[in-house]
């Protein structure tokens, strides 16, 4: 009874806090000062046709570095704990037979998914998407390989080398921006090019390729370390 | 039209989310969670956020579903 009463009080308090926001909310037809700065100065300062990319990689590039670091730490912790939990067991995997349709379809679909992922992060400064999205799509392709051929092994060395190189590359591009242009992760040390062409927006395409490879290999390593800890797939 | 579709998708997401919480079979609950991600990505696309839609489609409905299944399998093994 007391528990329910407390819950009710909590709910009423929550509603009181939220309703204040709702009542005072007034929509506006114009952008706020920060958003209008991004929208007006973005194309000339950054040169990216996709304004979201301009904000994510250049104006708020430091946050993106933090996000990539968080993902890296998550992947490292998953790998560490699953390794220590199952360090002594070397039982062979019992594999269930996968369906013929899935196996055949995966040979066609996996290269297409990889190509779509690469397209998404290479064109991150022109079309919706970017490094995170492209990397996640590539990891989905890896997931399909695991589903269709559970016996396949991934090269751990290759994954960790790719991940380290792309992480270092991202930071090096940031420092190059600090040295050659006005600030950390500034993309203007390479020519900005024509708005909307593939080789435009300075360093953004290079940074996005690094982020895409990094996110893809991190998610792959999470999937792989979970897969290796199953006795039965 | 598009707002009607958005409301419909929102209701579908709500039903699937409630299924995910209250269904007794964990497998069904996991599939329902994945489907929430799938419909949410369509909803994001309708609400003019294609960047978020891409992330939600690949992470929310693809990777997180398979990770949940792996973890479920793992928990079953340790309960045996």
User: ∠ CA(A112), CA(A151), CA(A156), 5° rounding?
Assistant: 75
The interface predicted TM-score (ipTM) is: 0.82
Q: Looking at the domain assignment, is residue A139 inside a domain?
A: yes
Comparing A26-30, A131-135, A163-167, B57-61, the range with the smallest average pLDDT is: A26-30
Give residue B80's pLDDT: 63
The pLDDT of residue B35: 92
Please tell me the distance from the alpha carbon of residue A206 to that of residue A66, in angstroms, as a whole number. 18
Question: Is B28 an 8 Å CB contact of chain A?
Answer: no
The predicted pLDDT at position A169 comes to 87
Q: pLDDT, tens digit, for every residue of A54-74?
A: 888 888 878 888 888 898 898
A97 domain residue, yes or no: no
pTM for this entry: 0.81
- Of the partner residues A128, A137, A230, the one whose CB lies closest to the CB of residue B73: A230
Task: Please state, in angstroms and as integers, the Cα–Cα distance from residue A143 to each residue in A119, A223, A225, B29, following that order.
Answer: 19, 7, 12, 20
Q: Among A10-14, A80-84, A90-94, A191-195, where is mean pLDDT lowest?
A: A90-94
Number of A/B CB contacts below 8 angstroms equals: 53
> CA angle A175-A161-B61, nearest 5°?
95
Q: What is the mean pLDDT of chain A?
A: 82
**Pairwise CB contact (< 8 Å): A143 & B50:** no
Residue A22 in domain = no
pLDDT at residue number A90: 58
Model confidence over B28-78: pLDDT tens digits?
Answer: 999 999 999 999 999 998 888 888 888 888 888 888 998 898 888 888 777
- Report the residue of B57, B58, B59, B65 to disrupt the A interface, i.e. the one with the largest count of A CBs within 10 Å: B58
- Count: domains in chain A: 1
Q: In the structure, what pLDDT confidence band is assigned to residue A232 with cuts at 50, 70 and 90?
A: low
- The answer as to whether A195 is a domain residue is yes
CB A103 within 8 A of CB A186: no
Q: Which residues of A touch B53 (CB under 8 A)?
A: 128
Name A94's bridge partners. A232
Q: How far apart are CA A172 and CA A184, in angstroms?
A: 10
Residue boundaries of the structural domains of chain B = 2-79
Task: Give the rounded percent of residues in chain A with a pLDDT score beyond 70.
Answer: 94
- The residue segments making up the domain with residue A184 are 45-72+103-227
Average pLDDT over residues A184-195: 73
Q: For the purposes of burial, counting CB atoms within 10 Å of the CB of A26, is it exposed (0-12), middle (13-18) or buried (19 or more)? A: exposed
Q: Is B75 on the interface with A (CB under 8 A)?
A: no
Q: Residue B51: which of A133, A223, A232 has the nearest Cβ?
A: A133
> Measured between alpha carbons, how far is residue B37 from residues A157, A173, A193, B31, B64 in Å?
32, 34, 38, 10, 9
A85 within domain boundaries: no
Considering only the beta carbons, identify the residue of A128, A146, A219 that sits closest to B50. Answer: A128
């Amino acid at each position: 009874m007391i528990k329910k009463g407390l819950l009710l009080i909590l709910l009423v308090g929550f509603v009181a806090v939220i309703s204040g926001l709702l009542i005072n909310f007034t929509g506006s037809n114009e952008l706020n000062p920060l958003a209008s700065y991004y929208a007006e100065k973005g194309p000339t300062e950054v040169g990216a046709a996709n304004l979201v990319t301009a904000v994510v990689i250049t104006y708020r590039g430091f946050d993106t570095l933090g996000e990539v670091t968080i993902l890296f730490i998550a992947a490292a912790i998953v790998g560490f704990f699953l390794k220590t939990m199952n360090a002594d067991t070397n039982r062979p995997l019992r594999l269930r037979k996968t369906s013929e349709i899935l196996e055949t379809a995966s040979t066609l679909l996996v290269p297409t998914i990889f190509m779509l992922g690469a397209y998404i992060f290479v064109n991150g400064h022109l079309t919706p998407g970017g490094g995170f999205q492209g990397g996640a799509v590539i990891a989905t392709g890896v997931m399909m390989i695991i589903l269709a051929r559970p016996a396949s092994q991934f090269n751990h060395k290759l994954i960790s080398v790719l991940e380290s190189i792309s992480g270092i590359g991202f930071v090096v591009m940031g420092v190059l921006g600090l040295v050659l242009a006005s600030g950390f992760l500034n993309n203007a040390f390479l020519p900005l090019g024509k708005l909307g062409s593939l080789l435009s927006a300075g360093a953004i395409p290079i940074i996005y390729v690094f982020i895409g490879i990094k996110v893809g290999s991190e998610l792959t390593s999470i999937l792989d370390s979970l897969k290796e800890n199953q006795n039965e797939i | 039209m598009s707002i009607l579709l958005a409301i419909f998708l929102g209701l579908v997401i709500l039903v699937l989310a409630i299924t995910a919480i209250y269904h007794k079979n964990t497998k069904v609950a996991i599939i329902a969670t994945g489907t929430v991600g799938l419909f949410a990505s369509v909803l994001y696309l309708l609400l003019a956020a294609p960047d978020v839609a891409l992330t939600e489609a690949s992470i929310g409905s693809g990777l997180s579903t398979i990770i949940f299944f792996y973890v479920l399998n793992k928990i079953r093994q340790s309960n045996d």
